[in-house]
């Protein structure tokens, strides 16, 4: 899908491509993918960690040491630890989330998967995620990797983004369409 391509000329694309190549060479692609997902989950859940990776106030050494300690606690492989250490040394931690996203997209493309971002008004139950994943797999004839997030302003329904496509069945969008229709009548 065109919306899923990764530019290997972008900073995140270059780093992600290099990491994919190293992980393939070491036959640890799945392990590294899992470790990066755990790291991204940690980044998403910690404002202090976000500040650490984005703030130029911290020195290379401080960022590198903090990330090394975090990665040790996450019990990641030497490849992941060395890679994130290099990113810190090069003062590129601000792009870590973009690198992880690019890595995930490259891995998904290699596996023949597509990524879908699903936003709902309330957290989806596991059986709802499974059903939605199955429906999307049937529709697109490819495995689908879902990322979910919650936006209470939707009121109800879902917004599903796959590449450049967006399916908005949220109650908020339906109310906006109804309001426009009533104003036009």
Q: Please write the tens of the pLDDT for every residue from 105-118.
A: 899 888 888 888 89
pTM here? 0.71
- Beta-bridged to residue 115, according to DSSP, are 145
Instruction: Read off the pLDDT of residues 92-138 as tens digits, 9 standing for 90 and up.
Output: 999 999 999 999 889 988 888 888 889 988 888 999 999 989 998 89
Q: Is 7 helix (H, G, I), strand (E, B) or coil?
A: coil
Domains of the chain from N-terminus onward: 2-108 (1.10.520.20), 114-184 (3.40.30)
User: Which of 51, 44, 18, 66 minimizes the C-alpha distance to 148?
Assistant: 44
Token pair recorded at residue 56 = 């130029």
- Residue 179: pLDDT band (50, 70, 90) is confident
């Amino acid at each position: 899908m065109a919306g899923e391509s990764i530019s290997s000329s972008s900073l995140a694309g270059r780093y992600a491509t290099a990491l994919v190549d190293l992980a393939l060479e070491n036959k640890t692609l799945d392990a590294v993918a899992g470790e990066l997902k755990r790291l991204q989950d940690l980044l998403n859940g910690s404002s202090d960690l976000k500040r650490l990776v984005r703030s130029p106030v911290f020195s290379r050494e401080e960022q590198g040491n903090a990330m090394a300690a975090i990665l040790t606690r996450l019990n990641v492989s030497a490849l992941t630890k060395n890679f994130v250490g290099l990113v810190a040394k090069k003062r590129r931690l601000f792009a870590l989330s973009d690198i992880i996203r690019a890595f995930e997209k490259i891995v998904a493309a290699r596996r023949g998967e597509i990524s879908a971002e699903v936003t709902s008004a309330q957290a989806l139950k596991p059986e709802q995620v499974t059903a939605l994943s199955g429906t999307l797999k049937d529709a697109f004839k490819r495995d689908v990797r879902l990322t979910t997030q919650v936006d209470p302003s939707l009121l109800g329904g879902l917004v599903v983004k796959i590449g450049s496509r967006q399916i908005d069945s949220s109650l908020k969008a339906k109310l906006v369409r109804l309001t426009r229709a009533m104003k036009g009548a």
